[in-house]
Structure 1
Amino acid sequence: MSKILSNPLFWVMTAVLLWLATITLIIARQN
């Protein structure tokens, strides 16, 4: 588990997923 947390790519993927989720929620609220 610690090996995954020390992987920069893991944090990049997490940030992208959180960003996409936020965009999806914003678009869903506008409709």
Structure 2
Amino acid sequence: EIPTFLKTGSDYQREQKLAAKQNQPLHSSREKQE
């Protein structure tokens, strides 16, 4: 896996978008369960 500081701008942005997609649904479902 490539360290974040070695990634290009486009790679970094794409990973940020993927992280956002994964984090938001998990966060919502976690709130509903409590």
- TM class by shorter chain equals 0.5 to 0.7
Aligned residues: percent identity? 4
User: Which stretches in structure 1 are left out of the alignment for 5+ residues?
Assistant: 1-6
Give the alignment's Cα RMSD to 1 decimal. Answer: 1.6
Segments of 5+ residues of structure 2 without an aligned counterpart are 1-9
Which consecutive segments of 4 or more residues in structure 1 shift more than 2 A? none
Tell me the number of residue pairs that the alignment of Structure 1 and Structure 2 aligns.
26
Q: Which has the higher contact order (CA 8 A, sep 6+)?
A: 2
What is the TM-score of this pair, normalised by structure 1? 0.59
Bigger proportion of residues as helix: 1
- Superposition TM-score, scaled by structure 2 size: 0.57
